[in-house]
Structure 1
Amino acid sequence: MNRSKTWITTAAWIAAVAAGVAGGYWWAGREGSADMTNAEPEAAADEREVLYWYDPMVPGQRFDKPGKSPFMDMQLVPKYADEATGAAVDIDPGLRQNVGIRTETVAIGRLATTLRVPGTLAWDLNRESVVSAVAASLVSRVEVKAPYTRVERGQPLATLLAPAWSTALAEAHALRQAESAAARELQAAAQQRLRVLGVPAGASGDGSVTVAAPHAGVVSEVLVRDGQAVMAGTPLFRINGTATVWLQAAVPQAEASRLRAGTPVRARVDGLPERRFDGEVETLLPQVDPATRTQQARIVLRNPDGVLAPGMFAEVAIRPEAGPARPLVPTGALIATGADSRVIVQDADGRFHPLRVRVGRSGDGRSEILEGLKGGERVVVSGQFLIDSEASLSGLLERLDGARDDEAGNMPDESVPDESVPDEGMPDMRMPGESEPDDGMPDESVPGEGMPAGDASAADTPALHQADASVRAIAEGRIELSHGPFPTLHMPGMTMRFPLADPALAEGLRVGDSVRVWVRSDADGLTVERLEPLADSATGQQETQP
């Protein structure tokens, strides 16, 4: 009985040990399979080549190792080599339609633009006359006493009495009546004396003479009165012709070189909005206004019915000479970076890549491309900034910068001003909702040319973006802010650290202060350019934005 029990116990123990050994082998095999299964994606992840790490909010700044972003409260994101699309950006056709990406073919044409500038009317000095006294005399009667009186040619202006003339006329008259031979010899001398004294042919015997207008026009100045004694050469009247008037127009310096004598002009004045007046450029004055950087153009306008008057303000439409045929792109397709400009080009495979260009003149909504395009390419005219951002993430812009640096080392220095920003020589004088005035000029643009963009422009001063915030920390040229949304950046409120453009901006600020912050956004991220306290930090009250 005891032997039987012992045998059963021994058998049960052996069975338990065998089951444990078998379970151990099974578990070990299961763990090994799991380890190998998990090792495959880890190995695959380890095999992916990381090009760099970046902050999605500041894609232009790159880091050589992972970690926390110095700009945002988030971890840096790796950029893998297999995610780079090479030399172009691929965008799904459906996405192109959703975001409104449109392209246009680059055309070759001449940029024949209409330049609109302000101007002021003045007398045409080529049609001005000054009536003067030809001898010492007494003004016995003034016929035209009021300035700006219209006169006709030959109309009497004043009557003068010259004592020297009366004596000479009396002697000539007496000799003319004499019959002696000696008197007849003196007649020629008397007539010569009258000519020397300047006595007109119609002078009366008492020495009085009537001064008449030399041509039709307006008496702009009356310089004498009845009974006034005048010396020889004294100005009596100033008369200005009205058949033409001068228009002094302020032309932007960049456009002045395109004007020539005889360039056609059409003008309109505010007092006569329904009429247009034609003329041509007479000359460019050799002086530039240092305040406005404009050059005065003297324009002769025809004024057949005399309705134009000096001092009137006019808007001038000038059509300068068209430049040579060049590739033309919509001005809106240009991406101006400050140092240069680029466009987004679509290749034959439908992929997009940035291309640096050198821009010439702009106008009528188009810009000349001096270098970079040849014509026939398709450029993005809407949605190009989205593609440009993707190109920045893909490293295309860095390769573009590298190519520019290589070219700069092999090219001579021949800086050409970037004219992709339309000239601001003349402000837009239209009221909101008012359509652009019709200047009446015929459209002489070459096919492929557009209408001017005006100017848009690229300012030298970067735009600043504003939000309200609370100071969390200040250290080592940086400030940590808990800020509200930046509407112009479409950036929500959060807490993050910003570099200070000048450490002195944070002087006097303490943790907990409410401030208004202005930041600059560029390839290096967001930088604080300006800080203003909103309220006393002890109260913790924050000023409300209007």
Structure 2
Amino acid sequence: MIRFEHKNLRLAAAAAGLIIIGGVAGLALARFGPGGGDPVATSAGEREVLYWYDPMTPGQRFDKPGKSPFMDMQLVPRYADEEPGAAGVRIDPALVQNLGVRFATVRSGTLEGDLTASAVVDYNERDVAVVQTRASGFVQRVYGRAPGDVIAAGAPLADLLVPDWGGAQLEYLAVRRTDDAALIQAARQRLLLLGMPESLISAVERSGRPRTTVTITSPIGGVIRTLGVRAGMTVPAGLTLAEVNGLSTVWLNAAVPETLGGQLRVGRSVEVTLAAFPGERMSGRLIALLPEVASDSRTLTARIELRNPGGRLRPGMYGRIAFGGSSTPALLVPSEAVIRTGQRNLVMLAGEGGRYQPAEVRVGREAGGQTEVLAGLREGERVVASGQFLFDSEASLSGVEARSLEQARAPSAAPTPAPAPAAAQTPVYRTSGRVQVIEGRSVTLAHGPVPALQWPAMTMNFTVADSVPLAGISVGNQVDFTFDLVGGKATIRSVTRRETGQ
């Protein structure tokens, strides 16, 4: 009887032990994932972990915690409430302040209509005179002209002997003695058809003697572009002796970006400033927009006509053209806030809670450092005006989708504007670590987490401020230290060696 009771007691104890073990196993199974380690789904009220990642290689995901295979640091959890989505990517406000990021508010305003472009002075190709021979002959004399000479209207170029005119002039003089008006008129008309100028025929009538030498003169004043006459040469009828370009007006050929060509209208007045005459403003008129666009620079040529009193403006001079225009209302953002990818234009929206999201925009004109927004933004939204490329890179790595133009049209698409960062002193952070390497004023530390910066424990390099002594600090020491972060550079501001046992 006693043995039986003792045996029952042993069975009861064994059963109780199994119950306790089962309870512990059930609790462990409820708190930990099937692979062991940290919890994947915690109890109510705690954040759910989706995966772990290395902040230096955010594209690689891991299903459990541990040390990163890429860096000497622990993996960081990605929580469900941080999963990329419409809320955008979160950037630590302290880091934003340390980087000196500037913000701008989308506003309604007026965009100045002035458009400026560089221009080069050129000849007026519509003011050109071509001097040709009207009959074959011989050059008896030239007047020392050369290409590039500026001459006045009526300036002599060469004396030409035309033997064929002698006989026709003698016949005309004989006919004049008949007093037959009809016959005289017919003979005079024949001289004109032979190429004799009116001044030469009048001289023959006054002198009563034939004149076979004629002086070739320039019909306009200007610059000699080409000169093809030399003493003693034989010239056939119709040979070009010279080309003269007038200088009373000149052209300015302005290179206007292709995207701005639609703003120009022929006939509008323009303001001209030339490098040769600083401070002097001249007035011209847009007379033509050439039909071709330069394939290399993607610009079209606007032709401006400008008066040239005294011949001061010379072809080849450089100047600037300002096309006047009235201001128009528009939705504006700073031009530096627009990220132009070549396929689309983006801005970084600043939302509440330190979150940022790229937004696609359609832009229009640009003037005075401001860009017109045609679609994609609403008045009052805040955008990043400097350092936006860093935000865009972080958003791309995190898989954040840009807000589309269609989403921006919805009233709920506008995020709550984030308050502007308040001016404050550079924050200082405190942690501890073990000294790995000391090289001059540079120290490598294996430090613990920095919650204020959302940094996990890692090994990294710090710069030691000149005012911080390193005497007594050596490799292997455990130290407490403070540091600040300015422009992405961590600088130690104080360091204290821990005594053994602390």
Which TM-score band (shorter chain)?
0.5 to 0.7
Deviations along 1:403-449, one digit per CA (max 9) or x if unpaired, are 65997xxxxxxxxxxxxxxxxxxxxxxxxxxxxxxxxxxxxxxxxxx
Is 1:300 the counterpart of 2:295? The answer is no
Is 1:201 the counterpart of 2:201? The answer is no
Show the counterpart of 1:76: 75
Show the counterpart of 1:216: 221
Task: Report the AA paired with residue 135 of structure 1.
Answer: A
Is 1:314 the counterpart of 2:306? The answer is no
- Pair 1:333–1:184, CA change in 2 (3 A): closer
TM superposition score normalised by structure 2: 0.60
- Contact kept? 1:360, 1:368, Cα under 8 Å: yes
Show the counterpart of 2:293: 288
Shift of 1:261: 2.4
Shift of 1:207: 2.8
Shift of 1:63: 4.3
- Contact kept? 1:278, 1:301, Cα under 8 Å: yes
CA distance in 1, matches of 2:170, 2:460: 103
Is 1:358 the counterpart of 2:361? The answer is yes
Matched position secondary structure for 1:227:
coil
- Contact kept? 2:132, 2:239, Cα under 8 Å: yes
CA distance in 2, matches of 1:206, 1:50: 112
TM superposition score normalised by structure 1: 0.56
CA distance in 1, matches of 2:217, 2:304: 30
Shift of 1:392: 7.0
Deviations along 1:289-340, one digit per CA (max 9) or x if unpaired, are 4344443443333322212323x25243343867974322112223456654
Unaligned stretches of 5+ in structure 1?
A: 1-31, 408-490, 495-546
CA distance in 2, matches of 1:190, 1:392: 92
The 5 A counterparts of 1:359-378 are 359-361=362-364, 362-378=366-382
Show the counterpart of 2:42: 46
Show the counterpart of 1:114: 115
- Pair 1:44–1:236, CA change in 2 (3 A): closer
CA distance in 1, matches of 2:405, 2:259: 28
Show the counterpart of 1:125: 125
Deviations along 1:340-396, one digit per CA (max 9) or x if unpaired, are 44334456x686542412242444322232321132333332455666677679x6x
CA distance in 2, matches of 1:206, 1:171: 13
Sequence identity percentage: 42
Shift of 1:240: 0.9
CA distance in 2, matches of 1:406, 1:148: 63
The 5 A counterparts of 1:408-419 are none
Moved more, 378-387 or 233-242: 378-387
CA distance in 2, matches of 1:89, 1:291: 39
Moved more, 383-392 or 76-85: 383-392
CA distance in 2, matches of 1:321, 1:63: 60
Show the counterpart of 2:55: 56
CA distance in 1, matches of 2:369, 2:275: 26
Deviations along 1:128-149, one digit per CA (max 9) or x if unpaired, are 1011112223333333523333
Deviations along 1:119-166, one digit per CA (max 9) or x if unpaired, are 443321101101111222333333352333322223333333322322
- Aligned residue pairs total 365
Show the counterpart of 2:6: none
- Pair 1:218–1:163, CA change in 2 (3 A): same
Show the counterpart of 2:183: 186
Is 1:379 the counterpart of 2:383? The answer is yes
CA distance in 2, matches of 1:134, 1:68: 98
Unaligned stretches of 5+ in structure 2?
A: 1-23, 32-37, 204-209, 408-458, 463-502
- Contact kept? 1:132, 1:233, Cα under 8 Å: yes
- Pair 1:254–1:158, CA change in 2 (3 A): same
Matched position secondary structure for 1:46:
coil
- Contact kept? 2:375, 2:405, Cα under 8 Å: no
Matched position secondary structure for 1:360:
strand
Task: Report the AA paired with residue 196 of structure 2.
Answer: V
CA distance in 1, matches of 2:373, 2:143: 66
Is 1:103 the counterpart of 2:103? The answer is yes
Deviations along 1:449-498, one digit per CA (max 9) or x if unpaired, are xxxxxxxxxxxxxxxxxxxxxxxxxxxxxxxxxxxxxxxxxx9789xxxx
Matched position secondary structure for 1:175:
helix
Matched position secondary structure for 1:202:
helix
Is 1:158 the counterpart of 2:158? The answer is yes
Deviations along 1:41-84, one digit per CA (max 9) or x if unpaired, are x9999333013322222345544443544543433210223567
Is 1:170 the counterpart of 2:170? The answer is yes
Q: Give the alignment's Cα RMSD to 1 decimal.
A: 4.2
- Pair 1:317–1:64, CA change in 2 (3 A): farther
The 5 A counterparts of 1:493-508 are none
Task: Report the AA paired with residue 176 of structure 1.
Answer: R
- Pair 1:250–1:116, CA change in 2 (3 A): closer
CA distance in 1, matches of 2:358, 2:405: 14
- Contact kept? 2:349, 2:381, Cα under 8 Å: yes
The 5 A counterparts of 1:230-269 are 230-262=235-267, 264-269=269-274
CA distance in 2, matches of 1:238, 1:188: 34
Deviations along 1:159-216, one digit per CA (max 9) or x if unpaired, are 333223222222222222346xxx5653233122123223222214323333332222
CA distance in 2, matches of 1:138, 1:168: 18
CA distance in 2, matches of 1:260, 1:406: 34
Matched position secondary structure for 2:310:
coil
CA distance in 2, matches of 1:325, 1:230: 67
Task: Report the AA paired with residue 110 of structure 1.
Answer: L
- Pair 1:211–1:338, CA change in 2 (3 A): closer
CA distance in 2, matches of 1:339, 1:190: 77
- Pair 1:168–1:111, CA change in 2 (3 A): same
Is 1:334 the counterpart of 2:338? The answer is yes
Matched position secondary structure for 1:125:
coil
- Contact kept? 1:59, 1:392, Cα under 8 Å: no
Task: Report the AA paired with residue 198 of structure 1.
Answer: G
CA distance in 2, matches of 1:272, 1:188: 57
CA distance in 2, matches of 1:404, 1:256: 28
Task: Report the AA paired with residue 261 of structure 1.
Answer: V
- Pair 1:84–1:246, CA change in 2 (3 A): same
Matched position secondary structure for 2:183:
helix
- Pair 1:237–1:184, CA change in 2 (3 A): same
